[in-house]
Structures are given as structure tokens and as C-alpha cells.
Copies of this chain bind each other. A is one copy, B any other.
Amino acid sequence: MALRPSRLITAALASVSILASACTADAGDTDDSTNTLSRRRTPTGEDIGKVSPGLQQYANNVVVEGLWSRPGLSPRDRSVVTVSALIARNNTVEMPQQITAALDHGVEPRELSEIITHLAFYSGWGNAMSAVAITNDIYTERGIATTQLATPARQPLPLDEAAEARRADTVEQDFGTVSPGVVQYTTDVLFRDLWLRPELAPRDRSLVTVSALVASGQVAQIPFHLGRAMDNGLTQEEAGEALTQLAFYAGWPSVFSALPVAREVFAGRP
């Protein structure tokens, strides 16, 4: 039953044509666009080759056989980073394959749903709606029911009241008169609600946030959230590998703009 990671990745990513076909099989049977939210499929390796044989070779040799098999970050975590980057960049064409791969790599449906929920706030509502449309189809096809999406015990995670009070004070002093609404929602909805939801571990929630920030070029917001990610248990090696993953899925320039900031954050850690 247990595939070695490299086999698992190959099965999930190299055989994209099988995945992609499965992914749109139901959708393709009818044209009832009032029932189906998305009907796109991700290009297969063969599709890529018809447009660029060179890109197909990079896909096989560098991405599937190389990047996804690197040590330092698990395939499951690479999927968390990749899906977050695609949602942040609204890359809907690549999403069907990578959301499917994420489930195959062990991201629980509950976690995937919470990544989308989290990014509704950190990447914008419209980006989340694109991901909802695609994920809705994949859940229908896989028979994933709403009962699988909540944690059994829905207790909010514990809050470090002192640290949260300091954060809230700083933001209130900085921007309380500029936009009282933003300041209020940041406390009430984000830090005293969203971040305490047990559907996603804080370390993973931070990894999602940092990935989205890098992928959308929001360099100024990286120091706070990368520091928080490391407080939540992300290691420097994992962060460096997340940046490697992001070089491919968010593009080299996004990562090169983030590297000097990451270096400062790493240097400032005790």
C-alpha cells in the first residue's frame, strides 16, 4: 500500500494525463453549466510537449524527478506550498492537477478546505472563489462529503493573550485612525478567530501564509509572518526549501525579491 515518496510523486504528477482525465470525467459528460462550476483540465505532459518539447523535458527531468523528490521538505508540505501559491496567483489552469496531487500526498480534505478558507482572507475573496469552484468539482468526483471537513472536537486553539495584545496595540497605534475597520477585523476575525481554527495546524497555516505572500509579491508582509512561521515550528531548512518550491510555482523573480527579507529574518532569530 505504501508507495515510496518518489514513486508516489511520480504517480501523482508524471501521470498527469490519467489524473486530469479522471478529474474532468464527470464534468465532461454533460454541458450543464448551471451544475458544474469549472470544467478546465490541466495540460498533460503530452499537451505540454505539443507546445514545447523543451518544457515537457523540464517538467519531467527537473520538476517531477528533481524538485518534488528533494529532501528538506516532504511531498505533503510541497503540496501545501504549491496549492497556496496557485491560489494566491489565481492559476486556475494548474489548480486541478495540484489540488488532486495534494490529496494524494496526504493533505487531508479538512486541511485543504481550511487552506482555501485561510487564503480567502490572505489572498482575497475572489481568489478563494476560484479555488472553491475547482475544489467543489474534485470533492464531488471523489465523494468527499462535508462531514469529512470538520475536526471532531471543534475547540479553538489556545491563544497567547500577551503576544496578541502586543500585536493589537501596535496595529491600533499605527493604523487605528487610518482604517478603524481594518484594525477591528484584523483582531476579531483574523487573530482571535481564523488563526485559532483547529482545522489546520498553526505551523501549516503559517506556511500557507508565507507561501501566498511570496507568490503575490507582498514582500513587506514577509518579516512578520516568516518569524511567526518559525515560532510555530517551521525550520530554516524547511523555509529555504519552500522558497525553492516557490521558485518554480511563483516564478524566480518573486523568490529573488523575497530572499533578502528571508535572510534578515533568519539572521534575527535567537
Q: Which residues of A contact B (CB under 8 A)?
A: 21, 24-25, 27-28, 31-34, 37-43, 47-55, 58, 62-63, 67, 70, 72, 85-86, 89-95, 113-114, 116-117, 119-133, 135-136, 139-140, 146, 149-150, 174-175, 177-182, 185-186, 189-190, 197, 199, 212-213, 215-218, 220-221, 239-241, 243-244, 247-257, 259-260, 262-263, 266
A interface majority secondary structure: helix
- A49-B146 in contact given A34-B21, A121-B252, A217-B217 (Cβ < 8 Å): yes
A191 to chain B, nearest CB (A): 11
Contacts of A24 in B (CB 8 A): 33-34
Residues of chain B lying within 8 A (CB to CB) of residue A121? 247-248, 251-252
Provide the bound-state CA to CA distance between A16 and B261, in Å: 41
Most chain B Cβ neighbours within 10 Å, of A34, A52, A140, A249: A52
